[in-house]
Amino acid sequence: MTAMVKAEGVHKSYGAAHILKGIDLEVAPREVFCLVGPSGSGKSTFLRCINHLEQINSGRLSVDGRLVGYREKGDKLYELKDSEVAAHRRDIGMVFQRFNLFPHMTALENVMEAPVQVKGETKAVARERAQRLLDRVGLADKAKNYPSQLSGGQQQRVAIARALAMEPKLMLFDEPTSALDPELVGDVLDVMRGLAEDGMTMIVVTHEMGFAREVGDALVFMDDGVVVESGNPRDVLTNPQHDRTKAFLSKVL
């Protein structure tokens, strides 16, 4: 079975700052894969490399058997054109810490926009799916509301619906609850649980250890640009093997 995501020796630097120092990991189809670790450990950078928002400096990164951002000829990699990268990116949904909704569009229009503009769908088809997705995230009654009229948790659920509107094969979540008031976190996590139950492949950068324990199939602890420890979330969280993992978990659990 082809891995949905495969990283082999992935390095990423910004100038003299070496952010990712040889990441090796695999995410299986339908797997909920959680990335945890302290701020600055490279988790979000790695997530952005998966859909080529950031270019890697060396190594190989593939999604569903296709190299991300490059094509291979002989033993050399050649960067793809922007249009080719954008075509690959359609299969990957991403939800950020900040919701990045279009403020001048209603919730419904935000969810409709990409399928109409990128896929060339008719507005009728896009509207029907958008209404269905808003219902799925518990916001059917907010379709005509603008982002400014929604709570942070509601905006994040619209952002999830917007990512799902492109019918991705992979969803990336970059700390989707970190900007939310504590009482709003549960609604967003419930939507993510539903996606997991439906078999969506998900990579989740999170500080929500309860979610990782309950919903995650695999967990990786990253620190200083390397994978320190990985395994079943329940095993890693209850019985970490590495001193660095133990120290981190003692602060967050």
Distances from the Cα of 127 to the Cα of 16, 91, 136, 143, angstroms: 47, 20, 14, 10
pLDDT of residue 184: 87
| Mean pLDDT for the stretch of residues 72-87 | 81
Model confidence over 161-189: pLDDT tens digits? Answer: 999 999 999 999 999 998 888 888 999 99
Percent of the chain with pLDDT over 90: 81
Torsional sign, CA 228, 234, 237, 242? negative
Percent of the chain with pLDDT over 70: 100
Q: pTM of the entire structure?
A: 0.94
Band (pLDDT 50/70/90 cuts) for residue 157 is very high
What pLDDT sits at residue 203? 98
Q: Which of these, 168, 63, 25, lies nearest to 35 by C-alpha position? A: 25
pLDDT exceeds 90 at position 84: no
Confidence label for 79 from pLDDT (cuts 50, 70 and 90): confident
Residue 50 is predicted with a pLDDT of 95
Q: Which amino acid is at 104?
A: H
Q: What is the pLDDT of residue 148?
A: 96
pLDDT digits (tens, 9 = 90+) for 85-128: 888 888 999 999 888 899 999 999 999 999 999 899 999 999 99
Closest residue by Cα to residue 108 from 127, 85, 88, 87: 127
β-strands 70-73, 76-79 pairing: antiparallel
